[in-house]
Amino acid sequence: MRIEWNQKAFKDVRYGRTSDIISELEGHAERIADDASAMGEGTYAVGSRAGMARPQGRWRASVVTADYKAQRDNARNNTILRALG
């Protein structure tokens, strides 16, 4: 009996390319952005994309300031960092 491994599936799970993993990452980022918006002033936004394949290309999500009020608030109070919990 010979086992054939699906190498592409291993890479998809490892590097976060499945829809379940992507939705989980985006959910965490949305929660952090919502907490930051509730804590401070301004608006915080979420971005999500695949990284460059050097060598892996893992999926990533980020929380950023979306306006001047949020930039000022985050610079003074580290709002995004505090929203991490």
Write down the pLDDT at residue 17. 75
| 1 belongs to a structural domain | no
Compute CA distances 82 → 18, 22, 60, 74, whole Å: 29, 23, 20, 9
How large is the average pLDDT for residues 44-48?
95
The answer to whether the beta carbons of residues 42 and 76 sit under 8 Å apart is no
Inter-residue contact 16 to 22 (CB < 8 Å): yes
Identify whether 51 is part of a domain.
Answer: yes
> Is residue 2 a part of any domain in this protein?
no
Per the structure, the count of domains in the chain is 1
pLDDT at 56 over 80: no
Structural domain contains residue 20: yes
Q: Is the pLDDT of residue 55 over 70?
A: no
**74 domain-assigned:** yes
Residues of the domain holding 58: 7-83
- Reported pTM: 0.81
Domain assignment present for 21: yes
In a domain, 19, yes or no: yes
The burial class, CB within 10 Å (0-12 / 13-18 / 19+), for 30 is middle
